[in-house]
Structure 1
Amino acid sequence: MTADDLVSVDSCDPGPPSDEACELARTVGFSFTVADALQRAGWAAGAKLDRWLEPKLAHLTPPDGMADLDQAAQRVADAIRSHESIAVFGDYDCDGITSTAIVTEAIEALGGTVTPLLANRFAGGYGFSNPGLERVLQTKASLLVTCDCGSADHERLAAARKAGVDSVVIDHHLVPEQSLPAVAFLNPHRPDCGFPFKGLASCGLALILATALRKTLDKRLDVRRWLDLVAVGTVADVAPLEGDNRTLVRAGLARLAATERVGLSALAIKGARGRKVPTTAEDVAFQIAPRINAPGRMADPKLALDALLERDPGRAQALVEQLDQITQDRRDVQQTMMAEALSEIAAKGFAQDPAIVLASANFHPGVVGIVAGRVTAQLGKPTVVVALDGDTGRGSARAPAGFRLYDSLVACREKLSGFGGHQAAAGVELSAAQIEGFRDAWRQACADQLATLPPSAEPWCPDVRLDERDDVMQVLADLERLEPCGKGNRAPKLLFRDVEVVKSRRLKTHLKLDLRLGGARLSAFGPDLADLEPAVAGQRIALVGRLKRDWWRGGTTAEVLMETALRS
């Protein structure tokens, strides 16, 4: 590849900031670059923007409209007062684990007797399963609180009730038409729920229950102690970082920086490779959450819960070391699966299809979701990856932004034994004999939907151009005021024009650049962009990427996280 092979910068240059953006920059005191990003996103100077930039816990939506909240708090409070045994049962992912930790600690703090339990992917699978019910009954509990599961578990909840166990369900997944056999059902998606913000993850709902218990039992209970867990669970579950979630995650990340939760602190330091640095939503998503999720993918999720609940620093550190090893094991499995997946796609020409279905007995059921997501990101196509165990297949589905994944599965439900999830991610069950029929039906369902969607821009297209009047470090400081960034509040992609590549080098599959931009020096890192090195070495080019603080150099310099290089 040479510089001539690069796409021209003029094909995607968003242009200079508008007059309105320049006025916003002067009014708010932002750099022209970040003011341009805000203006293009629909923001204008005023109280609404001020409140968004500096969210306060006092601005959280009052929980009064949450259906069944009073009933849930009253039943848990009664159980605590009368010294009943309480079981808390959570899903095996990060949202379920953090929710379970919050509810468990809240009950303990108020003097209750509680046993935390988690679903197991390899013994009952997702949700409140039959093995899960058996474990709850073994605790002799008279009250069950489910976290991040239960919405679709009518049969087990009914069996629990028959055995004398009341249930409080905390969940944010799709609401069933049939009413649940539970004392209370906390889910903002209920049609009769008046709580206006529908984007809370289950950990946010767990915090609302803790707040209601504080009101009912002990107003001295400081529920802010769980904000760090809410931040981790919300980001890990890819909940939208807007509304109440923005407020909760911003406050939770600040608390995480000085958390007294020794296991979580050790996880944050491990994710930062030993550096004591501020934790961002991106750090949670790519460093902390994967370590919490790893045991649930590979073995028993209880290890992650134990790490979050542990109060002894030495034991917490030992647990985190185990989490780190399991995470590395997961990465090794993932790498092997990706190689097999891409090999099959190339051999069978699946890249030309509107959607991709891969199935193998070599695939690990705990890693299919990650691989489906990676294939989707790489090829831009809806993807299902199925792990076969004899005649039984369990898989995960992922799709590009804007694609209605759940709807596509509904269209071919007759080709599946079962499925569930939402429009961005879903799980499927089918037999080995159903694979080909499902592949044909899903290809057609996806093709039909894709034909109705407007053409999308290249995923690397920049949002704004770095304005030549701006100081790079000031732009970086302004960008940090937009945090937390993620779903619902994507970090702006910047176009860096007329950049001189002073030095270039490959780091395995990655690309590292030293740059000169005007009078400033900065670096760039391009994940999986090593193939661009011959085209950019010694050249004057343009880059698209996100501006980040380079903590490896003490945090006083900026780094571009590259998405692509362009011809100037």
Structure 2
Amino acid sequence: MPAVPLHWSWSLPAVVEPSPLRGLDLPLSLRCLLRRRGFSSTSEAESFLFPGDLPPTRDHFPDLEQACTRLVTACRSRERVAICGDYDADGMTSTALLLRALAPLGAEPEPAIPSRMEEGYGLNPVMVQRLYDDGVRLLVTVDNGVAAREALELAASLSMQVIVTDHHTIPAERPPMTALIHPATTPEGSPYRGLAGVGLAYVLAHAVADVLNKPEAIRVARDLFCIGTVADMAPLVGANRSWLLEGLNHLHRSECKGVQALQRLAGLGERPLTAEDIGFQLAPRINAVGRLGEPRLVVDLLTAEDPDSAMALARRCDDYNRQRRDLCDAIEAEAVALVEAESSDALPSFLLLAQSHWHHGVIGIVAARLMERYHRPTALLAGDGDGSLRASVRGPIGFAVDRALSKCSDLLTRFGGHPAAGGFTVKAEFVHALHERLCAEADGWLMTQAQGRPVQPDALLQLKDVNWDLWRHLQSLAPFGIGHPKPLFWSRRVSVEDRRDLKGGHLALTLRQGESERRAIAWRWDPSAAVPACCDVAYSISINRWQGEQRLQLELKAIRAHTELVLIDRGTRQYTAQLTKTSGLKLTNGEGVTLQASIQQEQSLTSDNDLARDQRVIQLIEEACLGLGLRP
């Protein structure tokens, strides 16, 4: 049993009008979900669900014309072009995209990806000098480069031209470069603001192919865009959503032999793929290589023309992915043991764990798992030689990792990141002081948080409503990801009819509500979490495919014991609400004053109490109805 008890902190969704977005052909639960996600009108929701044509990219990227002109010249003169990518899935798919696009357009592109272990992240002076000495005079960076000042200054001094495509933070003083293709250079509100590195590479390749009138050169580029965008967890809105909606319909029939091989290894069959298929099946096999091996392997896979060679390369990626899973599980078990051993009374506000033998390539994955498990910003540190440690950091929503690290800059050798994630290098003698400083930074954030893992369902469902008709409507909201997450539903007062503990720490339940039974699965279930016989459950909906059959299942995110009472907090005041067999809804304040309302047809409420006409009381009643399951 863990020393630190774990539980969930439920926050029910906001109250919305009784029947929002009436013009949409969707069940009420999904219309409520969209309303809660900020869509205030039917037309606004329809524009999101069924996006129209995007504006011309040349009108949104100021340097695109210049970058395109230079690459067209390179294509027409069969010039060598170095594609300098990062070693994660975004960087590797971006590199492969430009290699596959520029070669049939006439250029002679070649990959240049740094080694995670030997060279670190991004464009560096050693790489620039090596390429220059080899005769290359044009570089295109993908998913990196905007802050590589030393490398860009060296390239400028050597009269090498560099087109930078990147989506990381632009420094206050922009280094020298021929052109910059970056989301931040687009107008405010641009649909291209959320593009990852692979999206920017797609913009560039598309522009060059248009000028040369060779659209066939970028057919595979769309497939690689889909994989890289989902793998990099880019926000699935704007151009990302538009291009994904188009690309996912064809990805399972990709002409890319490497993509075909990955799909066969993952057992995805001949059906159209979803963003979840990419995120959980294809992307890990690609990312594992950059974390543990040589990223050139993925580029070779995604540019392979021979099916047998592609399958051999895909199997090597699969081997790396198995190694990655084993490493992550071992490090996670060790890290959890450290947390439990050191936190017998209470968790620190910032988790910092260090072991010299941990693998740099996977500590970020484990940090994310611990952050979710304990709802704390988390840093995992691994040995980096010369008395230093290298860390990966992950932060929950509301805690800015980049700001916290910047306030500790005097203790760090190097650092970087964004609000959700980051990394740093630190001398071993500064680790204790660093942990104290990071805890001080996290204290204020933690005071604003409820205790436990946050659970915020989107809408209430009855188990009988989890059916194929709902699934069909749910697919019209896809693809899901960052910026538009997979819906989280909740159901009240379900009974646990059967429980099975599965291999790998998973939990399978059969849930009943009235006459309806549904199968539920909880992945990586926390053994310290109780499973009450009568409970409320929060879950997403998925398809379980097994031996040629498919059925809907609930993927459980949280369970709590069911209670007939609902508590509503209003600052220092607290109210209770419950349903009674005789009077319907009963709302009680802290002084024991009660208000009763009768439930009418379509679950509307009426009350003879004059208080029920007060707007603040109406709001309390609506929240009570939501908590008691009278509203979706």
Q: CA–CA distance in 2 between the matches of 1:305 and 1:238?
A: 20
For 1:62-211, list aligned pairs within 5 A: 62-190=57-185, 197-211=192-206
Counterpart contact for 2:373–2:453, Cα < 8 Å: no
Q: CA–CA distance in 2 between the matches of 1:307 and 1:244?
A: 27
Counterpart contact for 1:494–1:545, Cα < 8 Å: yes
Question: Would the alpha carbon gap of residues 15 and 552 (structure 1) be closer, same or farther in structure 2, given more than 3 Å must change?
Answer: farther
| More moved, 283-292 vs 518-527 | 518-527
Q: 1:134 deviation in Å?
A: 4.2
Q: 2:222 aligned to 215, 222, 227, which one?
A: 227
Q: 1:89 deviation in Å?
A: 0.8
The residue number in structure 1 matching 2:285 is: 291
Q: 1:239 deviation in Å?
A: 1.2
Question: Would the alpha carbon gap of residues 440 and 184 (structure 1) be closer, same or farther in structure 2, given more than 3 Å must change?
Answer: same
SS at match of 1:551: strand
Give CA-to-partner distance per residue, 1:260-292, whole Å, 9 cap, x none.
112112223333x45444322122222211111
Runs of 5+ consecutive residues of structure 1 not aligned to the other structure:
none
Q: 1:422 deviation in Å?
A: 0.9
Counterpart contact for 2:398–2:445, Cα < 8 Å: no
The one-letter code matched in structure 2 to 1:444 is A
Q: CA–CA distance in 2 between the matches of 1:346 and 1:423?
A: 27
Q: 1:431 deviation in Å?
A: 1.6
Q: CA–CA distance in 2 between the matches of 1:15 and 1:195?
A: 28
| More moved, 160-169 vs 320-329 | 160-169
Q: CA–CA distance in 2 between the matches of 1:337 and 1:240?
A: 29
For 1:485-564, list aligned pairs within 5 A: 485-508=480-503, 509-529=505-525, 531=527, 535-536=531-532, 539-552=533-546, 554=548, 556-564=550-558
Q: 1:182 deviation in Å?
A: 1.3
The one-letter code matched in structure 2 to 1:353 is P
Identical residues among aligned pairs (%): 33
Question: Would the alpha carbon gap of residues 387 and 548 (structure 1) be closer, same or farther in structure 2, given more than 3 Å must change?
Answer: same
Q: 1:191 deviation in Å?
A: 8.6
Give CA-to-partner distance per residue, 1:486-507, whole Å, 9 cap, x none.
1110122111234343332110
Q: 1:127 deviation in Å?
A: 0.8
Q: 1:441 deviation in Å?
A: 1.6
The one-letter code matched in structure 1 to 2:326 is D
Counterpart contact for 1:87–1:139, Cα < 8 Å: no
| More moved, 410-419 vs 540-549 | 540-549
| More moved, 236-245 vs 191-200 | 191-200
The residue number in structure 2 matching 1:40 is: 36
Give CA-to-partner distance per residue, 1:341-361, whole Å, 9 cap, x none.
122222222962110222221
Give CA-to-partner distance per residue, 1:354-374, whole Å, 9 cap, x none.
102222211111111111111
Q: CA–CA distance in 1 between the matches of 2:442 and 2:453?
A: 20
Q: 1:461 deviation in Å?
A: 3.4
The residue number in structure 2 matching 1:441 is: 437
SS at match of 1:366: coil
Q: 1:407 aligned to 396, 403, 406, which one?
A: 403
Counterpart contact for 1:406–1:421, Cα < 8 Å: yes
SS at match of 1:265: helix
Q: Does 1:425 align with 2:417?
A: no
| More moved, 239-248 vs 314-323 | 239-248
Q: CA–CA distance in 2 between the matches of 1:94 and 1:281?
A: 15
SS at match of 1:352: coil
The residue number in structure 1 matching 2:588 is: none
Question: Which one has a larger percent helix, Structure 1 or Structure 2?
Answer: 1
SS at match of 1:502: strand
Question: Would the alpha carbon gap of residues 473 and 383 (structure 1) be closer, same or farther in structure 2, given more than 3 Å must change?
Answer: same
Counterpart contact for 1:526–1:562, Cα < 8 Å: yes
Higher Rg:
2
Counterpart contact for 1:412–1:445, Cα < 8 Å: no
Aligned length: 556
Cα RMSD (Å) of the superposition?
2.8
Question: Would the alpha carbon gap of residues 302 and 343 (structure 1) be closer, same or farther in structure 2, given more than 3 Å must change?
Answer: same
| More moved, 434-443 vs 95-104 | 434-443
Question: Would the alpha carbon gap of residues 167 and 477 (structure 1) be closer, same or farther in structure 2, given more than 3 Å must change?
Answer: same
Q: CA–CA distance in 2 between the matches of 1:73 and 1:8?
A: 51
Q: CA–CA distance in 2 between the matches of 1:15 and 1:88?
A: 47
Q: CA–CA distance in 2 between the matches of 1:427 and 1:340?
A: 21
Per the normalisation by structure 1, the TM-score is 0.90
The residue number in structure 2 matching 1:334 is: 328
The residue number in structure 2 matching 1:19 is: 18
For 1:253-272, list aligned pairs within 5 A: 253-271=248-266
Q: Does 1:237 align with 2:232?
A: yes
SS at match of 1:79: helix
Counterpart contact for 2:83–2:109, Cα < 8 Å: yes
Q: Does 1:344 align with 2:342?
A: no
Q: CA–CA distance in 1 between the matches of 2:179 and 2:82?
A: 15
Counterpart contact for 2:60–2:186, Cα < 8 Å: no
Higher relative contact order (CA 8 A, sep 6+): 1
Q: 1:162 deviation in Å?
A: 2.7
Q: 1:193 deviation in Å?
A: 9.0
The one-letter code matched in structure 2 to 1:459 is P
Question: Which one has a larger percent strand, Structure 1 or Structure 2?
Answer: 2
SS at match of 1:19: coil
